[in-house]
């Protein structure tokens, strides 16, 4: 470790080694940390201190269980260190700049020379991340009664895990080892020194030309941010649309937004090879019938996540896994070894912090208290934090068709919503799917600047069986973009005005005139 430039806590490199990153590391992998002496048999031994592991450990310890938490790199996992937290900080700066850039549309004069300063953006991110990291710190967990061990955890026997040369005994164990950036088997890519989410947040200077491989949520969010900061960004995506898992209408809005920010989008791109010549990386790819070469200064690979299943000794304890999809669990989040549970990205298809959090709560109930909580009962919303955001929950049209479920869809475009018009944010919509013949909400997609905030109303309705018709009876303040949701309630209720009902109303009104 070169203490003047970086901290390498057996894995992740934290750079630059400034006061903020020093504060971060002091919290989440303090130098000189002494692992405690193992305390007999633990109720729970948790491997991995990302969101899933932290929530499991703190929740179980809070209930009085004796808990050991093992982390080989940085507590807080991806979300705090190289995921949600740094990325959302960058996106906020990118949005601030876009607001300044576009202020002329709102009658605001922008002084010449206004620009985003990438080093200042990154410094802000590091400062905020360090501030937030206190909540995930080793010291805080220790004070809350959790035995925190740094080192790689590995099962060595039916009720034992080894870490740092010590053996911990458990009644139940939880695998919460998360996932890492998936790699693409493309010739020359690994040798080119491409960035992933583990290294991109350590950049000190804005790369003038950036290629982003993959137009999933991470690729789209960072492509838009880097383009706004002034990089020439090209996104190479093999699929015919960005955000392939999302509603195609929603994806088209994001494509328009990315193009408006100057991102070059190459859909249907098949990358053949990458070559590095000094500081320049050349990507050879085919798109349609054309063969092209793209020269850039940096490449960011964002093609999905690979579960951290290696080196855990899973075979020793009979825990089945798949190298692509992770540890196999049942609906109670039990692995194929009934004493061992899993939670978070290591086993979940929907890899989100809030999902890890709620899976951890299920594990606490089921592992410690013979609970019967089911993972399939969770309604998991998801948000891509581009500008505008895409937020979605439940089924979409394609999934419903596959399952033979009849859907009726209600759409409110934002160009008919006063607040969106006044905000100049009209390219978006709220789409709600109900079970045909009822107002039971089965899914929704919102595309709006703050879609993530708007979606919670619909997720709440789904979780508590509140139908779309009932939402029409909830007063939403005027003018708000969320009022679009209430208007869909009205739209649903209008469908109940059948010709027969209308005839009865007309007769009554004639009679009472």
Ligand X SMILES: Cc1cc2nc3c(=O)[nH]c(=O)nc-3n(C[C@H](O)[C@H](O)[C@H](O)COP(=O)(O)OP(=O)(O)OC[C@H]3O[C@@H](n4cnc5c(N)ncnc54)[C@H](O)[C@@H]3O)c2cc1C
CB 407 within 8 A of CB 397: yes
Q: Is residue 353 involved in binding ligand X (CB under 6 A)?
A: yes
CB-nearer residue toward ligand X: 78 or 246: 78
Q: Would you give the binding string for ligand X spanning residues 206-225, x where CB under 6 A is met?
A: ------------x-------
CB-nearer residue toward ligand X: 179 or 215: 179
Candidates 38, 178, 207, 216; binder of ligand X (CB under 6 A) is: 178
> Rg (Cα) of the chain, in Å, rounded?
25
Candidates 193, 288, 311, 479; binder of ligand X (CB under 6 A) is: 311
CB-nearer residue toward ligand X: 192 or 356: 356
Label the pairing between strands 209-213 and 179-181: unpaired
Q: Is residue 153 involved in binding ligand X (CB under 6 A)?
A: yes
Q: Is residue 84 involved in binding ligand X (CB under 6 A)?
A: yes
Query: Torsion angle, CA of 216/222/224/225, rounded to 10 degrees?
Result: 160
Shortest Å, Cβ 183 to ligand X: 14
Which 3 state secondary structure label does DSSP give 249? helix
Within 13 Å, how many C-alpha atoms sit on residue 9's CB side? Answer: 25
Label the pairing between strands 146-150 and 154-157: unpaired
E strand or H helix that includes residue 299? strand 298-301
- Residues 6 or more apart whose CB falls under 8 angstroms from that of 181 comprise 196, 197, 198, 301, 302, 303, 305, 306
Q: Is residue 48 involved in binding ligand X (CB under 6 A)?
A: yes
- Residues 6 or more apart whose CB falls under 8 angstroms from that of 113 comprise none
Stretch that binds ligand X, among 46-54, 267-275, 326-334, 396-404 (CB under 6 A): 46-54
Q: Is residue 197 involved in binding ligand X (CB under 6 A)?
A: yes
CA distance 251 to 427: 12
DSSP H helices in 283-352? none
Q: Is residue 344 involved in binding ligand X (CB under 6 A)?
A: yes
CA distance 321 to 327: 4
Candidates 21, 234, 356, 445; binder of ligand X (CB under 6 A) is: 356
Cross-strand bridge partners of residue 168: 161
Q: Is residue 89 involved in binding ligand X (CB under 6 A)?
A: no
Shortest Å, Cβ 73 to ligand X: 4
Stretch that binds ligand X, among 59-67, 223-231, 305-313, 328-336 (CB under 6 A): 305-313
Q: Would you give the binding string for ligand X spanning residues 123-152, x where CB under 6 A is met?
A: -----------------------------x
Q: Is residue 400 involved in binding ligand X (CB under 6 A)?
A: no
CB-nearer residue toward ligand X: 70 or 271: 70
Q: Is residue 71 involved in binding ligand X (CB under 6 A)?
A: yes
Q: Is residue 308 involved in binding ligand X (CB under 6 A)?
A: yes
Candidates 38, 50, 307, 489; binder of ligand X (CB under 6 A) is: 50
Which 3 state secondary structure label does DSSP give 501? helix
Q: Is residue 381 involved in binding ligand X (CB under 6 A)?
A: no
Candidates 38, 59, 77, 219; binder of ligand X (CB under 6 A) is: 77
CB 205 within 8 A of CB 195: no
CB 78 within 8 A of CB 178: yes
CA distance 473 to 26: 51
Q: Is residue 29 involved in binding ligand X (CB under 6 A)?
A: no
CB-nearer residue toward ligand X: 258 or 312: 312
CA distance 46 to 163: 12
Residues at the interface with ligand X (CB under 6 A)? 47-53, 70-74, 77-79, 83-84, 87-88, 152-153, 176-179, 197, 218, 308, 311-312, 344-346, 351-354, 356, 385
């Amino acid at each position: 470790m070169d203490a003047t430039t970086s901290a390498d806590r057996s894995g992740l490199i934290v750079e630059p080694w400034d006061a903020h990153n020093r504060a971060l590391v002091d919290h989440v992998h303090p130098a000189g940390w002494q692992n405690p002496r193992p305390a007999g048999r633990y109720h729970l031994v948790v491997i991995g201190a990302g969101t899933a592991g932290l929530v499991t450990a703190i929740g179980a310890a809070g209930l009085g269980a004796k808990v050991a938490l093992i982390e080989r790199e940085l507590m807080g996992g991806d979300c705090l260190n190289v995921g949600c937290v740094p990325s959302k900080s960058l996106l906020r700066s990118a949005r601030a700049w876009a607001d300044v850039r576009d202020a002329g549309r709102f009658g605001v004069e922008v002084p010449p020379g206004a620009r985003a300063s990438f080093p200042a953006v990154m410094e802000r991110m590091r400062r905020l991340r360090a501030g937030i990291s206190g909540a995930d710190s080793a010291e805080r967990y220790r004070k809350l009664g959790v035995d925190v061990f740094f080192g790689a955890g590995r099962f060595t026997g039916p009720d034992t895990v080894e870490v740092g040369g010590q053996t911990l005994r458990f009644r139940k164990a939880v695998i919460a080892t998360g996932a890492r950036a998936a790699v693409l088997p493309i010739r020359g890519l690994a040798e080119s020194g491409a960035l992933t989410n583990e290294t991109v947040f350590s950049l000190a200077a804005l790369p003038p030309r950036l290629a982003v491989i993959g137009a999933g949520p991470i690729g789209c969010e960072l492509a838009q941010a880097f383009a706004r900061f002034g990089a020439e960004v090209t996104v190479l995506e093999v699929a015919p649309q960005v955000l392939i898992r999302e509603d195609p209408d929603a994806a088209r809005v994001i494509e328009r937004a990315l193009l408006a920010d100057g991102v070059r989008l190459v859909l249907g791109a098949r990358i053949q090879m990458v070559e590095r010549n000094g500081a320049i990386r050349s990507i050879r790819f085919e798109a349609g019938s054309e063969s092209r070469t793209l020269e850039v200064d940096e490449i960011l690979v964002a093609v999905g996540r690979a579960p951290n299943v290696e080196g855990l000794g899973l075979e020793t304890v009979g825990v089945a896994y798949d190298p692509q999809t992770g540890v196999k669990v049942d609906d109670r989040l039990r692995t194929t070894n009934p004493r061992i549970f899993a939670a978070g990205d290591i086993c979940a298809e929907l890899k989100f912090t809030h999902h890890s959090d709620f899976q951890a709560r299920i594990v606490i109930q089921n592992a410690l208290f013979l609970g019967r909580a089911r993972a399939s009962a969770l309604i998991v919303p998801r948000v891509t934090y581009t500008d505008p955001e895409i937020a979605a929950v439940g089924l979409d049209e394609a999934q419903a068709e596959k399952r033979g479920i009849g859907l009726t869809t209600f759409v409110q475009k934002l160009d008919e919503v006063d607040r969106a018009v006044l905000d100049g944010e009209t390219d978006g919509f709220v789409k709600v799917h109900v079970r045909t013949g009822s107002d039971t909400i089965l899914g929704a997609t919102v595309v709006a600047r703050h879609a993530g905030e708007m979606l919670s109303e619909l997720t709440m309705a789904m979780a508590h069986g509140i139908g779309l018709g009932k939402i029409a009876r909830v007063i939403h303040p005027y003018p708000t973009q969320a009022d679009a949701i209430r208007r869909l309630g009205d739209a649903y209720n209008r469908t109940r005005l059948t010709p027969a009902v209308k005839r009865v109303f007309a007769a009554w009104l004639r009679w009472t005139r």
